[in-house]
Amino acid sequence: MKRAALLAAAALALAGCQSAAIAGEGTVHAPMAKREAAEKGLKTAVFAGGCFWGVEAVFSHVKGVKSAVSGFAGGSKANASYDTVSGGGTGHAEAVKVTYDPAVIRYDQLLRIYFSVIADPTLKNRQGPDSGTQYRTALFPQSAEQTAVAKAYIAQLSAAKLWSRPIVTTIESGAFYPAEAYHQDFALNNPKHGYIIRWDAPKVAALKGMYPGVYQTAFVRN
């Protein structure tokens, strides 16, 4: 599709990520993980943390990330479409599949970024202006190692009491299904979109300010 057509399609399907704004999200300096991930070769990890545009935008600026694909996890293939998932009854979460090089950025370091600047892990079924089960914070480990590291890190963060409320982020299983083409690289392609300016650009800025060593200026395209 030509760019104009893509934007037109996007304009018709933004209800879930274009709600009226509520109280803003903050950042937290999450500690380094006590348990480091032991992985070699390119790996994938799936993160759900509210509207997938922001999750994708942050990870697309992390050194060692090869791709960050927006999509849906936790439900079936049959109803893994934006319009259907936005109804909140499919069991999916808006999620991002990250392909990364552990020699540059480990899974535990990606988790640190996730909890620091991407999502508030104490909010149940909502993030920023969006509410519904599809906006829950959830991790979908792709290996036994990722599962062990994720459980250990959530336990570490819970013990640290960095937030005034308990962590409700879940560890789940389920396949990942890519979202429609117009959702991919959305922040890169639509930098002046009101949602991106208000909610997602600040997350990328926080990544740069808090973790400059892993930040890269270039956006990794899918």
pLDDT surpassing 50 at residue 37: yes
Distances (CA, A) of 49 to 2, 117, 130, 174, 207: 30, 10, 11, 16, 15
User: Domain span at residue 58?
Assistant: 40-210
Total count of residues recorded for the chain: 222
Q: Which pLDDT tens digit goes with each residue over 95-140?
A: 999 999 999 999 999 999 999 999 999 999 999 999 999 999 999 9
The whole-number average pLDDT for the span 54-58 is 98
Residue 26 pLDDT level (bands cut at 50, 70, 90): confident
Q: Is 204 among the domain residues? A: yes
Number of domain units in the chain = 1
pLDDT surpassing 70 at residue 8: no
Q: Which domain CATH number covers 161?
A: 3.30.1060.10
pLDDT surpassing 60 at residue 216: yes
Q: Is 4 among the domain residues? A: no
pLDDT surpassing 90 at residue 6: no
Q: What percent of the chain has pLDDT over 90?
A: 88
Query: Does 17 qualify as catalytic in the annotation?
Result: no
Q: Is 126 among the domain residues? A: yes
Q: DSSP labels for 14-61? A: -GGG-PPP-SPP----PPPPSS-----S-EEEEEEESSHHHHHHHHTT
CA angle 113, 114, 118 (to 5 degrees): 105
Q: Is 188 among the domain residues? A: yes
- Contact between residue 70 and residue 186 where contact means Cβ atoms under 8 Å apart: yes
pTM check: above 0.85: yes
Helix (H) or strand (E) holding 5: helix 3-11
Which is the catalytic residue, given 51, 110, 119, 138?
51
- Contact between residue 170 and residue 150 where contact means Cβ atoms under 8 Å apart: no
Q: Is 7 among the domain residues? A: no
The whole-number average pLDDT for the span 77-98 is 96
Q: Is 158 among the domain residues? A: yes
